Structure 1
């Protein structure tokens, strides 16, 4: 009988994620007054996707408040604020202008800016500690059947860090399946991306992407990308951006004679929809026309549909698809996975 053993990278991922759970920053008193005159006193954590999160001493759970339902906000924390037009402001104080729908932001150099409420798309409390700037999610799924002792583990995860004018993010997704009298079936994809934000919602991007799967006989595909992008829609309910640039692609196959290296162009479009009750959707499509292999092109497509549960838990449906119009001999043109997982986010 063959026993399933999770990949070593999965254990490392779990260890890192559990460590994050034990590092929470302590807060100070901020005041929020809602339009129904309810008042919350605590520490503002962030406003993202149209929802403001505040931690209070009198509740075990963070309060989540719809941004446009806030009548008055007063805080002297340091914040990173992103506006609809793409500007990023380091504010040392934030408050409502009296009897209006405008927010007053006091910058670190004491300059004062007045912004309409709906023009603010993101707020994050900025502290000196590293953990407060992190975002992370981790979800798992496991299947077992008596027939042929089939066991399957699926992992879907993200990790990100946001600074004043740049961000770095990554993901690790894996499916590994074992059954009696059969070789292991696996598919793993991962990436690390760095974005530097420019004026007018433009950004420079650099990323490295990894893919390995048995369906296409890929032992490793490593793609490095450098490019430029822009957000065309940037609101409290939706982000829509696109970009493009150049990519260097290195592929190692199960048969060493099939290994390939190539230079490619790439074009991508990404949409992030949120603030639709408890449902959010993130999708990315990237196309790679080859510069060095005549007529070859590849496509990567991802969709994550997430339903939020209480206590920061969630259920996620993830689809990942990749296509190569000129695969190596004996391998498939495409590969895809459908993952249903349960997880928690930081």
Structure 2
């Protein structure tokens, strides 16, 4: 059954991607110091804007330095007061402001510092991709020795659809044998409703955790959420719905579909003034509908500090709790990963 859900999710994402257009147009940024950048604005989020400059390539700039913006293509623009606009950006009534010319010809003047999220609608597929690749050293409860970890994350933002793919693994090498101690993978899709804060979501997760006797867990998520708080440099989202799990223990025992009620908090904080730091966390609570009294909790926090352009030092503590693991005595796992990551 879960394979059918996986196929439905992949088909859902493929259909959503075909709804996006592929026009290529140029945008212009004018800064307070007189510098001008010309290219394709890829995205903007919590105080930082990414542009593919015609000569310099991909550049990330801080919005508080921008004097005016002139865009040729259409954008989806969300402000800190949770308003959503669709249209082009033009120089505003004063420095540090933009006029948003909507599709219905209405014009709204907005401070650039009040722009929370900017999504290019007419820039094609690859210009909208954003992600990072990381590798480093980790410590886990199950292994007092150090371990190696690798992770990959990529995001795609469309007019109403958003997709995120995340992969992470922690393993240890002992006597020339590699042990896959912990693995996480997720494919998440959201769809913004006509309101400015509500969205629908669907996701597929994979977990492996030898400390909790989980050889594999496949999880399908169906639900929605709300952007509870949107501020200049941080954002808080809440999601809930229904999850369906299929588990296999380290002894080979498999379960039928297990149903859970989830409550998921996603928090993002960005500070682009010196020092350049970012904090992202996902806190997930699960209450079982199939197994009486079973509750689970997954905690993941990621701290990033920019060392040089595009390279970050990341500190990633995590923990997992399950009061009824498939087998074994351990119901709690924790660890920390320290990585050097490259963002593209």
TM category (shorter chain) comes to 0.7 to 0.9
One of 129, 134, 137 as aligned partner of 1:134? 129
Further displaced range: 263-272 or 312-321: 312-321
Note closer, same or farther for the CA distance 1:310–1:297 as it changes in structure 2 (3 Å cut): same
By how many angstroms is 1:226 displaced? 1.3
Q: Which residue of 2 aligns with 1:155?
A: 150
Note closer, same or farther for the CA distance 1:297–1:303 as it changes in structure 2 (3 Å cut): same
Unaligned residue ranges in structure 2 (runs of 5+): 1-22, 139-144
One of 26, 41, 50 as aligned partner of 2:47? 50
By how many angstroms is 1:244 displaced? 1.3
CA distance in 1, matches of 2:118, 2:203: 25
Unaligned residue ranges in structure 1 (runs of 5+): 1-24, 144-149
Q: Is the 8 A contact 1:223 1:247 kept in 2?
A: yes
Q: Which residue of 1 aligns with 2:328?
A: 330
Q: Is the 8 A contact 1:194 1:206 kept in 2?
A: yes
Note closer, same or farther for the CA distance 1:29–1:260 as it changes in structure 2 (3 Å cut): closer
Larger radius of gyration: 1
One of 252, 261, 265 as aligned partner of 1:269? 265
By how many angstroms is 1:295 displaced? 0.9
Instruction: Tell me if 1:166 matches 2:164.
Output: no
Larger relative contact order (Cα-Cα within 8 Å, sequence gap ≥ 6): 2
Note closer, same or farther for the CA distance 1:48–1:219 as it changes in structure 2 (3 Å cut): same
CA distance in 2, matches of 1:82, 1:120: 6
Corresponding residue SS for 1:212: strand
Between the two proteins, the alignment pairs up a number of residues equal to 312
Q: Which residue of 1 aligns with 2:306?
A: 308
1:1-346 superposed matches below 5 A? 28=26, 30-34=28-32, 37-43=33-39, 44-56=41-53, 59=56, 62=59, 64-91=60-87, 93-99=88-94, 102-141=97-136, 152-180=147-175, 184-198=179-193, 199-257=195-253, 259=255, 261-276=257-272, 277-346=275-344
Q: Deviations over 1:215-234 (max 9, x none)?
A: 12211111111122111211
Q: Is the 8 A contact 2:99 2:110 kept in 1?
A: yes
By how many angstroms is 1:246 displaced? 1.4
Note closer, same or farther for the CA distance 1:114–1:61 as it changes in structure 2 (3 Å cut): closer
CA distance in 2, matches of 1:254, 1:58: 53
Q: Is the 8 A contact 1:258 1:328 kept in 2?
A: no
By how many angstroms is 1:284 displaced? 1.0
TM-score by length of 1: 0.81
Further displaced range: 252-261 or 129-138: 252-261
By how many angstroms is 1:296 displaced? 0.8
Further displaced range: 46-55 or 226-235: 46-55
CA distance in 2, matches of 1:307, 1:99: 33
Corresponding residue SS for 1:68: helix
By how many angstroms is 1:182 displaced? 6.8
Q: Which residue of 2 aligns with 1:12?
A: none
CA distance in 2, matches of 1:79, 1:224: 31
Corresponding residue SS for 1:256: coil
CA distance in 1, matches of 2:92, 2:27: 19
CA distance in 1, matches of 2:196, 2:119: 20
